[in-house]
């Protein structure tokens, strides 16, 4: 009897703890399946303070998990003095199933960019599984899916019509990798533009459709890797592309050359954009503005195409000065890239202005000084003497 009484007493003590353990385990499981989303409340609407409205930076927020990191990144863009961002909005992310949209990440990015007073240039690309053949890459867009991409682009333009007024169609279509390893064909890209252009203007009559975003490359015709950007653009115009875009997006990397290195057809440097402009003039398209949507120098100590950190700062600031003084047809000059969500472990990390941990690099401070009108204080430190 005594043993039974003791057992019942112990049971009364242990049983509640069993329930506590069960509840704790259930709480952990629910937390894994439905993680807490740390929201970032909007601030009072902000305004960019800058004396260089041409300054723009390419962000990389599409894979950022924490909303506060999206908010903080865009806050740092504003504080740097850049008035415009370029951000990639992949079709594959937002329409994973046909006609089933998931706008959550795009909503967060655009909401916070608007709150910080930033202009958004949206780049669209990447093909969902359902819109391309099996065993193809995310960049493979077959002609039979042009209409599906057009529908997505129009829905995007309509949803964000009050905020996003600039959209880039695709990225570097003159590279085989960016065209899904299909044969690089300017006519196919023009066919895509011809379908997308009227749909975007129907969705948002005030939209500016950007074509191009061509990769600077010297690949000859017939190369399996791509096609020379100047030749590709020439073939685009010959196919009637000028009817289907309002602005031309251009990528203009300096590699190892200074910002003022003379442009020639057989060299890749920052001023290669001027050869692009000559091609536009040749086809009577001088009224169409140019946006340099990717540009910059890399200061990785081991990459063969990089420069020293001091040169990176000097050439980048020099590029902004050159664009202001000699490239009045350039509406924006966008530096690649603000920050990556996580380290790449390779030379691309040295394109960034900010580390994944939000450590500001010297080039960030130099650009901030330039955009805020303090460049007189740093001219002697960063800018090279004028060339004769």
The per-residue pLDDT for range 195-213, each reduced to its tens digit, is: 999 999 999 999 999 999 9
The per-residue pLDDT for range 214-246, each reduced to its tens digit, is: 999 999 999 999 999 999 999 999 999 999 999
| DSSP strand pairing (290-296 vs 166-169) | unpaired
Where does the pLDDT of residue 30 fall: very low under 50, low under 70, confident under 90, or very high at 90 and above?
very low
**In the chain, what are the domains?**
37-382 (3.20.20.80)
Is 9 a residue whose pLDDT tops 80?
Answer: no
Q: Scanning the structure block, which residue is given the tokens 């009637």?
A: 240
Q: Which pLDDT score is estimated for 32? A: 47
Q: What is the mean pLDDT of residues 374-388?
A: 50
Give pTM, 2 decimals.
0.88
The per-residue pLDDT for range 73-131, each reduced to its tens digit, is: 999 999 999 999 999 999 999 999 999 999 999 999 999 999 999 999 999 999 999 99
The per-residue pLDDT for range 128-161, each reduced to its tens digit, is: 999 999 999 999 999 999 999 999 999 999 999 9
Q: Which pLDDT score is estimated for 387? A: 47
* Helix/strand number for the chain, H first, E second: 11, 8
* Count of other CB atoms within 10 angstroms of residue 299: 20
Is 288 a residue whose pLDDT tops 60?
Answer: yes
Residue 262 vs residues 147, 156, 182, 251, 252: alpha-carbon distances, Å: 42, 40, 33, 17, 13
Q: Which pLDDT score is estimated for 39? A: 74
Q: Which pLDDT score is estimated for 182? A: 96
């Amino acid at each position: 009897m005594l043993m039974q009484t003791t057992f019942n007493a112990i049971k009364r003590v242990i049983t509640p703890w069993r329930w506590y353990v069960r509840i704790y385990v259930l709480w952990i499981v629910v937390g894994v399946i439905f993680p807490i989303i740390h929201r970032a409340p909007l601030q009072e609407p902000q305004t960019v303070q800058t004396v260089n409205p041409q300054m723009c930076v390419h962000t990389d927020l599409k894979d950022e998990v924490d909303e506060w990191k999206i908010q903080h990144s865009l806050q740092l863009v504003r504080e740097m003095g850049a008035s415009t961002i370029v951000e990639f909005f992949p079709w594959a992310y937002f329409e994973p199933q046909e006609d089933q949209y998931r706008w959550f990440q795009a909503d967060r990015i655009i909401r916070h960019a608007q709150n910080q007073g930033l202009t958004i240039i949206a780049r669209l690309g990447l093909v969902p599984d359902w819109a391309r053949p099996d065993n193809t890459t995310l960049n493979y867009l077959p002609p039979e899916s042009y209409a599906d991409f057009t529908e997505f682009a129009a829905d995007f333009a309509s949803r964000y019509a009050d905020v996003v007024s600039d959209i880039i169609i695709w990225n570097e279509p003159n590279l085989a990798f960016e065209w899904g390893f299909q044969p690089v064909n300017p006519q196919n890209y023009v066919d895509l533009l011809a379908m997308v252009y009227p749909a975007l203007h129907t969705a948002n009559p005030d939209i500016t459709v950007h074509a191009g975003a061509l990769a600077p490359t010297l690949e000859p015709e017939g190369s399996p890797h791509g096609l020379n950007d100047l030749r590709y653009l020439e073939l685009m115009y010959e196919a009637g592309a000028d009817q289907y875009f309002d602005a031309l997006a251009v990528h203009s990397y300096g590699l190892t050359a200074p910002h003022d290195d003379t442009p020639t057809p057989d060299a890749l440097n920052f001023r290669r954009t001027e050869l692009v402009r000559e091609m536009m003039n040749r086809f009577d398209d001088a009224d169409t503005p140019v946006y340099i949507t990717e540009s910059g120098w890399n200061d990785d100590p081991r990459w063969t195409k990089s420069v020293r950190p001091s040169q990176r700062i000097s050439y980048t600031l020099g590029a902004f000065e050159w664009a202001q003084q000699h490239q009045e047809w350039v509406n924006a000059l966008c530096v690649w890239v603000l920050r990556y969500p996580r380290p790449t472990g390779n030379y691309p990390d040295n394109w960034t202005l900010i580390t994944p941990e939000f450590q500001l690099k010297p080039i960030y401070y130099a650009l901030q000084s330039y955009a805020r009108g303090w460049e007189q204080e740093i001219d002697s430190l960063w800018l090279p003497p004028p060339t004769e």
